[in-house]
Chains A and B, each alone.
Chain A
Amino acid sequence: MSERYEFEMPLEPERYELTAPPAYHFELDRRDWFKFLGAGLLVVCVMKNVKAAQETGGAKKPAGEALPEEIGAWLHLGEDGIVTVYTGKVEMGQNIRTSLSQAVAEELHVAMGKIRMVMGDTQLTPFDRGTFGSLTTPTMNRQLRKVAAAARNLLVELAATQWKVERKDLVAADGRVSDAAGKRSVEYAALVKGQQLTQAVPADETLAPAAQWKVAGQPLPKVDGRDFVTGKHKYPSDQKLPEMLYGKIVRPSAFNATLVSVDTSEAEKMPGVTVVHDGNFIGVAAASSVLAARAAALIKAEWKAEPQPGQKEVFEYLKKNVTNAGEPVGLATHHDAGSVEPAMAAADHRLAQTYTVQYIAHTPLEPRAALAEWNGDHLTVWTGTQRPFGVRSELAAAFHMPEDHVRVLMPDTGSGYGGKHTGETAIEAARLARAAKKPVKVTWTREEEFTWAYFRPAGVIEVASGMLKDGTITAWEFHNYNSGASGFETPYDVANQRIAFHATKAPLRQGSYRGLAATANHFARETHMDELAHVVKMEPLEFRMKNLKDERLRAVYQAAAKKFGWGRAKSAAGQGFGVAGGYEKGGYVATCVEVAVDRGTGEVKIARVVTVFECGAIVNPDGLRNQIEGANIMALGGALFEAVEFENGRILNGLMSLYRVPRFRDIPPIESVMLERKDLPSMGAGETPLMGVAPAIGNAIFDATGVRLRGLPLIPNGLKIS
């Protein structure tokens, strides 16, 4: 039994992507390749008919429109038996260096220790749009399995030819091909010795089904974990070159400020300091970060900024400034079914409520960093980014140079969470390096990261619904202003729906954040579901199940209820239980939460979180559990207390001491349950496990107190019980 290989996975565009990916055409020249790689075997994965980016439902790109044929990945087996795999995906803590290695080991039948992953290097790896959208597992993992399977088949064929036997009489295992009788055996390395073999992956390549996996499916540890616990690994901010200088940028006084005047003379008097003033860009480079900071402080710049909207009026601002413009092609902004008005008029109960989410900051522990080096008219930049190829485009545009003169490398980085899609720091370092004629590293301070990166968009979500006396939802109207369309559809069965995303002007620079708008949309929908259950006096889980047919979502709800002990009586005053769930990016999640509320002080303690997640066949159970736990903990911050405070073009809480993220004392017991469906393709898990946390907490607080919270964060200053 084999799994048919297909690329039907829709590629979801990122809402605020700043540049379109360039069409990339590879000319494979065998001689060049082997000059670089050394002799051996090279297998290339050519992807065909990659479906145009689209979200499910609503406006879609015209049928049949496909991205150009494209190379997805390649693999080289050297004479030394080392397997080197090239992928444009990048590692920032999701542990895909490990899970992708498992994919290769599984199909190639080699030890994990023989595999090297080369990731996110625009000179060495195939074009890749970026590492986001939980896409690595459903796309790259399968591509690499396919490449590895093709390599294995070729090796078996080589042995069959050499020994003049039938392929079917040979087996590949542990890096060797042997005959079934056990008489002859040869290492892969010996088979490719002195050869220059190339092969494209056949279109009909088949893969081992998950039920037969031996290496994939195992809870293997991080492949290079030792480098991380010993401090040996070099993150982007740790990179260093001979004669490297440290850069520092002089920042505007506020967002959208223009430079009125600047005096750099004092800084220029400092020996060894390079000062650059180019348009709105002012920066320095010096032999140490201390000197660079000192030089930057000597620069007197005067800025002018217009008044700008602040956090206090953000939701009114969004509602008043609908543009519905600037949507990326292919992104669904509407979903309609049936006819909402008659259903609403005929409903026994109607409910309309508004939900809000604040701007929050990704706060990756490693701030943006880049090291840039010029070699004539060629530029090399090491930087922490989820889109090395996108940053290459940004650099090429900024310096008016062809993309093939720019190389971007991404050393495994200190997290991203959707916050490192852009190349600001790379451009800054490159600009300073060009002036200094030496390599320059720029590492943003925490305050810069909080201010000059981009944010998860704030949003207003209006939900109106109608239902029958028995709790059947008959009408559903859902409008998201600014936060985004991801996950805005309802998984519940409602005959009459109008769902829309409305673009607005934004008071802050905003972009992708782990899970995109699915967090906000799940919060609004699952809170509203709870409110509806309350209207018809139904138990909240029973109410959901009454309106839900999707078997996979039903299964995670049932598993969560069982693990949590849903339905048991409260055992203490202030105790409350909440549930929420949904699906997104091929993953299904249900979360149950127990809270303990002190009615006197308003303190809310999250007593327990149970999250059940199902994303098909599991590639690495420990890696998946790590993602579920981490997603739940990251979600706590946005659910409970994270919010960017801003006023008139300035961030007011842009320091770690002012912006609260989850700490050890905030972490409740989290029980994560993984449901496995070996019969279904493996999907990504980086994002969807967040979705149930915020609404389940809000629903539990309501259960405990009768106080309904409709804005995220729920309780930045504790709970007010009147």
Chain B
Amino acid sequence: MAKIQLQVNGSSITVEAEATLLSVLREQLELTGTKYGCGEGQCGACTVLIDGRARRSCQTPASAAVNKKITTIEGLAQGEHLHPLQEAFLAEGAMQCAYCTSGMIMSAASLLSSNANPSEAEIVRHMDGNICRCGTHPRIVAAIRRAANAAKESGR
């Protein structure tokens, strides 16, 4: 099988090409924080950042991510310092089973990078492609608002 080079969480890694980015991350790189939820880009559980933008890794051929910067949930924290969104999800208790959480945080990270202070309506619109079955949506919206405020206060 053909091999390709991917840039994942700051490392350059050689993987087999014939697969979705999701299965490469989960099976070849053991980055299982990125989840399978539906396989058709409808639930957002597999969301990663590709060059800073939220992308559904189940709909992305691994070969399409070559020469791009891929960030997964495992690469979001700076060492022991959690990303403001990770802190905010904990502070708001914005999870139950938390299977959707990685995808929620990655989608939200994409939102905050393009809109540092989103309104509630903007959050709802942006996050609508991510499904939470436990029904923690109001807490997720609150967590994203909290992270935005925290970033504002810390002047980031």
The reply to whether chain A is a binding partner of chain B is yes
Determine which of A230, A237, A288 lies in contact with B77 in the assembled complex, contact meaning CB atoms within 8 Å: A230
Determine, out of A155-163, A481-489, A536-544, A627-635, the stretch whose residues face the partner at the interface. A627-635
Query: Is B96 an interface position by the 8 A CB rule?
Result: yes
Query: Is A94 an interface position by the 8 A CB rule?
Result: yes
Query: Is B40 an interface position by the 8 A CB rule?
Result: yes
Cβ contact within 8 Å between A365 and B32: no
Query: Is B55 an interface position by the 8 A CB rule?
Result: no
Determine which of A231, A234, A413, A670 lies in contact with B34 in the assembled complex, contact meaning CB atoms within 8 Å: A231
Cβ contact within 8 Å between A93 and B97: yes
Query: Is A574 an interface position by the 8 A CB rule?
Result: no
With contact pairs A288-B19, A443-B36, A446-B39 given, residues A231 and B102 touching in the complex (Cβ less than 8 Å):
yes
Determine which of B32, B40, B140 lies in contact with A655 in the assembled complex, contact meaning CB atoms within 8 Å: B40
Query: Is A35 an interface position by the 8 A CB rule?
Result: no
| Residue among A233, A238, A365 with max Cβ neighbours from chain B (10 Å) | A365
Contacts of B61-101 to chain A: CB distance below 8 A: 72-74, 76-77, 82, 86, 89-90, 93, 95-101
With contact pairs A93-B97, A630-B96 given, residues A655 and B38 touching in the complex (Cβ less than 8 Å):
yes
Contacts of B111-125 to chain A: CB distance below 8 A: 123-125
Cβ contact within 8 Å between A657 and B135: no
With contact pairs A231-B31, A290-B23 given, residues A634 and B82 touching in the complex (Cβ less than 8 Å):
no
Least distance between A92 CB and chain B CB atoms (Å): 6
Least distance between A515 CB and chain B CB atoms (Å): 13
Cβ contact within 8 Å between B134 and A630: yes
Count, chain A residues at interface, CB 8 A: 56
A663→B133 CA distance, assembly (Å)? 9
Query: Is B137 an interface position by the 8 A CB rule?
Result: yes
With contact pairs A232-B33, A656-B43 given, residues A417 and B136 touching in the complex (Cβ less than 8 Å):
no
Cβ contact within 8 Å between A656 and B136: no
Interface mask (A225-237 → B, CB under 8 Å = 1, otherwise 0):
1101111111101
Cβ contact within 8 Å between B135 and A662: yes
Cβ contact within 8 Å between B37 and A365: yes
In chain A, what residue has the closest Cβ to B88?
A: A229
Query: Is A366 an interface position by the 8 A CB rule?
Result: yes
Write out the residue numbers on chain B whose beta carbons fall within 8 Å of the beta carbon of A93. 95-99, 134
Cβ contact within 8 Å between A246 and B133: no
Query: Is B145 an interface position by the 8 A CB rule?
Result: no
Contacts of A202-234 to chain B: CB distance below 8 A: 221-222, 225-226, 228-234
Write out the residue numbers on chain A whose beta carbons fall within 8 Å of the beta carbon of B40. 446, 655-657
A261→B132 CA distance, assembly (Å)? 41
Cβ contact within 8 Å between B95 and A228: yes
In chain A, what residue has the closest Cβ to B86?
A: A229
Cβ contact within 8 Å between B33 and A289: no
Determine which of B23, B102, B128 lies in contact with A288 in the assembled complex, contact meaning CB atoms within 8 Å: B23
In chain B, what residue has the closest Cβ to A672?
A: B138
Cβ contact within 8 Å between A415 and B19: no
Cβ contact within 8 Å between A365 and B43: yes
Write out the residue numbers on chain B whose beta carbons fall within 8 Å of the beta carbon of A222. 90, 93, 95, 98
Write out the residue numbers on chain B whose beta carbons fall within 8 Å of the beta carbon of A308. none
Cβ contact within 8 Å between B32 and A234: yes
Least distance between A655 CB and chain B CB atoms (Å): 6
Query: Is B148 an interface position by the 8 A CB rule?
Result: no
Query: Is A256 an interface position by the 8 A CB rule?
Result: no
A578→B86 CA distance, assembly (Å)? 38
Write out the residue numbers on chain A whose beta carbons fall within 8 Å of the beta carbon of B73. 229-231
With contact pairs A93-B96, A231-B33 given, residues A630 and B135 touching in the complex (Cβ less than 8 Å):
yes
Least distance between B83 CB and chain A CB atoms (Å): 9
Query: Is B51 an interface position by the 8 A CB rule?
Result: no
In chain B, what residue has the closest Cβ to A287?
A: B27
Cβ contact within 8 Å between A228 and B101: yes
Contacts of A386-419 to chain B: CB distance below 8 A: 412-415, 417
With contact pairs A231-B72, A661-B133 given, residues A92 and B33 touching in the complex (Cβ less than 8 Å):
no
Determine which of B27, B93, B131 lies in contact with A365 in the assembled complex, contact meaning CB atoms within 8 Å: B131
Determine which of B39, B76, B98 lies in contact with A445 in the assembled complex, contact meaning CB atoms within 8 Å: B39
Write out the residue numbers on chain A whose beta carbons fall within 8 Å of the beta carbon of B34. 231
Query: Is A341 an interface position by the 8 A CB rule?
Result: no
Least distance between B66 CB and chain A CB atoms (Å): 18
Write out the residue numbers on chain A whose beta carbons fall within 8 Å of the beta carbon of B140. 664
Query: Is A123 an interface position by the 8 A CB rule?
Result: no
Contacts of A569-602 to chain B: CB distance below 8 A: none
A657→B40 CA distance, assembly (Å)? 8
Write out the residue numbers on chain A whose beta carbons fall within 8 Å of the beta carbon of B96. 93-95, 415, 626-627, 630
Cβ contact within 8 Å between A228 and B98: yes
With contact pairs A415-B133, A655-B40 given, residues A670 and B102 touching in the complex (Cβ less than 8 Å):
no
A670→B34 CA distance, assembly (Å)? 30
Query: Is B127 an interface position by the 8 A CB rule?
Result: yes
Write out the residue numbers on chain A whose beta carbons fall within 8 Å of the beta carbon of B105. 229
Query: Is A48 an interface position by the 8 A CB rule?
Result: no
Interface mask (B35-60 → A, CB under 8 Å = 1, otherwise 0):
11111101101000000000000000
With contact pairs A288-B19, A656-B42, A664-B137 given, residues A414 and B99 touching in the complex (Cβ less than 8 Å):
yes
Query: Is A364 an interface position by the 8 A CB rule?
Result: yes
Least distance between A590 CB and chain B CB atoms (Å): 19
In chain B, what residue has the closest Cβ to A670?
A: B138
Determine which of B36, B102, B129, B135 lies in contact with A633 in the assembled complex, contact meaning CB atoms within 8 Å: B135
Cβ contact within 8 Å between B131 and A661: yes
Least distance between A293 CB and chain B CB atoms (Å): 10
In chain A, what residue has the closest Cβ to B32?
A: A238
Write out the residue numbers on chain A whose beta carbons fall within 8 Å of the beta carbon of B19. 288-290
Write out the residue numbers on chain B whose beta carbons fall within 8 Å of the beta carbon of A664. 123-124, 127-128, 130, 137, 140-141
A229→B76 CA distance, assembly (Å)? 10
Least distance between A284 CB and chain B CB atoms (Å): 16
Query: Is A675 an interface position by the 8 A CB rule?
Result: no
Cβ contact within 8 Å between B32 and A366: no
Query: Is B146 an interface position by the 8 A CB rule?
Result: no
Cβ contact within 8 Å between A667 and B138: yes
Query: Is A268 an interface position by the 8 A CB rule?
Result: no
Contacts of A610-631 to chain B: CB distance below 8 A: 622, 626-627, 629-631
Write out the residue numbers on chain A whose beta carbons fall within 8 Å of the beta carbon of B101. 228-229
Write out the residue numbers on chain B whose beta carbons fall within 8 Å of the beta carbon of A626. 93, 96, 136, 139
Cβ contact within 8 Å between B74 and A231: yes
Query: Is A164 an interface position by the 8 A CB rule?
Result: no
Determine which of A363, A414, A633, A663 lies in contact with B97 in the assembled complex, contact meaning CB atoms within 8 Å: A414
Determine which of B27, B133, B135 lies in contact with A632 in the assembled complex, contact meaning CB atoms within 8 Å: B135
A246→B26 CA distance, assembly (Å)? 12
Write out the residue numbers on chain B whose beta carbons fall within 8 Å of the beta carbon of A94. 96
Write out the residue numbers on chain A whose beta carbons fall within 8 Å of the beta carbon of B153. none
A63→B83 CA distance, assembly (Å)? 58
Least distance between A628 CB and chain B CB atoms (Å): 10
Write out the residue numbers on chain A whose beta carbons fall within 8 Å of the beta carbon of B33. 230-232
What 3 pairs between A and B have smallest CB-CB spacing? A231-B33, A93-B97, A633-B135
- Other A-B pairs beyond A225-B98, A231-B32, 19, CB < 8 Å: A94-B96, A221-B93, A226-B82, A226-B90, A229-B98, A230-B77, A233-B98, A290-B18, A414-B35, A415-B97, A415-B133, A417-B133, A447-B39, A626-B136, A626-B139, A629-B136, A663-B128, A663-B131, A664-B137
13 A-B pairs whose Cβ atoms sit less than 8 Å apart in the complex: A93-B95, A225-B93, A229-B98, A230-B33, A231-B72, A233-B98, A246-B27, A290-B18, A446-B43, A632-B135, A656-B37, A664-B123, A664-B137
